[in-house]
Structure 1
């Protein structure tokens, strides 16, 4: 027995039968529920066992859930549980250090700016310390030669008396200026280069493997200050490129 059409309720014969969406349709009755456009098995979309075209296919939307007392209670309980879990994890991980932060472009920019600022600050402090050490050396040199003041001869049994106003004051003996002597040998530390190094900044020095570096002063664990004996250049150099002689 031939089944009826799902739209017009008339008998559907095999030559014009369309079997779709668990129903039988005439080819001409297989239409969109909204615009009545004739559909086929390739361009139809089924919703609630009814055919629709692509333009009028019903869109599923989400419904907002009202804040009922039960929902509010569950929300508050979930928040409390999350806080308890956070405190437990915090107590477990306390003292183990901070977790690694992903290197985002913003963090990379901030990190680069901090490195530039630290380098500028380091060079400023180094220039100040170098100027202070040079000024201190000049002040020390100006007081290297003390004035000679001869002591009065003390004989046994002689009692010194306070000079009267009529007695002349003793003259201060000033020795004649002596000829300048040769500068003393350098007392700084001596190091030998074990690698080649090319200066990366104006206040650094370049050297080659085997060069002798004199008058070396330790700045910190990573840098020194000295003079390359082969070239006569003075500046900063990395400490891990040299070894003590």
Structure 2
């Protein structure tokens, strides 16, 4: 049985049938809903299962809300309410945002290193203050025993031989730069790579710099002073070598 046309509700025969938009149309009835222009399968546009031409195809538009005093009041009220809620949440969560840091082996090593650095700096400051307090004590000695009081004693010995003078100079104590301090040999190190400090308690140096006053912290780190810059701090042990 032949179906009926969706426009005129008359029987549609196969020779004039158009199947489109889930409906059956006569070729002449398949037209725009607005201007009644006859359409085909190439130029039609469907909307809610109804054919339209390109000019009269329904377009979805956004409704603009007028900025009335009432709307402004509602907008301001919503903004104030948001600020009040934010302040309430902030007051409730105040002091609760601190995360607990896990006591990992790495953090324990850093903490131990910082404690050792603090102890080293404390002892260095103590030694400097102690040496600074004792420094004036040797100064009165040249005044109490002037050099001119000892010089005339030499001519009284007629058998005095000036040849022992060079051995006396050779036996003098070496300067501090030779690596001897208070009778104990102090190791000196030389940088073999450039290093840039990655933290406040570390020290930067360049290849060839001399590292003095070195104290071993652990297998990977040591504490020392760069002779070129005078800066002190932590430095990696594998960046220097013993002289």
- The TM-score range, normalised by the shorter chain, is 0.3 to 0.5
TM-score normalized by the length of structure 1:
0.43
| Structure with greater proportional helix content | 2
TM-score between the two structures when normalised by the length of structure 2: 0.43
